[in-house]
Amino acid sequence: MKYYRGKNYVGLLYISPWIAGFLLFKLYPFVMSFIYSFTRFSILDKPVFIGLENYIYMFTKDKLFFPALKATLAYVFMTVPMKISFALFVAMLLNMKLRAINIFRTAYYLPSIFGGSVAVSVLWRFLFMKEGIVNKFLGLFGIKAVDWLGNPDIALFTVSLLAVWQFGSSMVIFLAGLKQIPNELYEAAIVDGASRIRKFFSITLPMISPVMFFNLVMQTINAFQEFTGPYVITGGGPMNATYVYSILVYDNAFRYFRMGYSSALSWVLFLLIMIFTALLFRSSSYWTYYEDGGK
């Protein structure tokens, strides 16, 4: 017993940095933000308990709350399907047996490493500005310059393209799922005379549906929390077309120093993400296939 107890202490010692980091930088801020959401707190002053006043103000008087919520939902429903579809398409291309295929796999993953940085967001802004490279390229074909970032109707779509460009992580997961599909299934389908489209919908999609579900959940959560791209590229404009929820939280916390109200906004976002995640888990039993028959 002393031997096993000593082994446990050694294990706890090895994971103690993670435990300390979790308690200090994850659990403590999580709990405190919930407490602060019921207070008037501006960092410089002590928090004052005000009950549900922050939440009432949010839904009744904050003129930016519903526009930010609308922009965020539009961003999520726009970005996630495009990103997952493109990641799956590229993963299927990289699953082919070609020479130097590992080089292509590495190259396609690089955007996911650099895509979330401020520098790339600034580059994206210069690419799509009215005198940017994209419009100059379109001008070669006689196409009139498009105001990608100044038009409220297409600004959010332009910003979402940056997130779609960061498809590398989803692509790698899809590629791992494609590698696990038994080749015998495709051989049997060929014998039956199935077309490529038929094989895709009858074999590939059902077999990678758990991977699809995982990517869908993760990308939905990430999309709801997107901040760097919209903030750096457009600053939330034009006319609040790209003013997503995370910018609203940031502005109230670090621009207006309304930490209590910002905490309340964060908890509403947390509940919103939980609702969408629960809906995805609820729906997964209807379209996710597992080899062991589980749901």
Domain count, the chain: 1
Q: How far apart are CA 177 and CA 290, in angstroms?
A: 12
pLDDT digits 0-9 by tens, 205-243: 999 999 999 999 999 999 999 999 999 999 999 999 999
pTM, entire model: 0.90
pLDDT digits 0-9 by tens, 173-190: 999 999 999 999 999 999
Please report, for the domain that includes residue 273, its CATH number: 1.10.3720.10
Mean pLDDT of 17-39: 94
Residue 236: partners with Cβ closer than 8 Å, 6 or more residues away: 230, 242, 243, 244, 247
pLDDT at 248: 97
pLDDT at 259: 95
For residue 3, pLDDT beyond 60: no
Nearest to 261 by CA among 252, 270, 269: 252
pLDDT at 116: 63
Domain, as residue range, for 86: 62-287
Strand, coil or helix: 151: coil
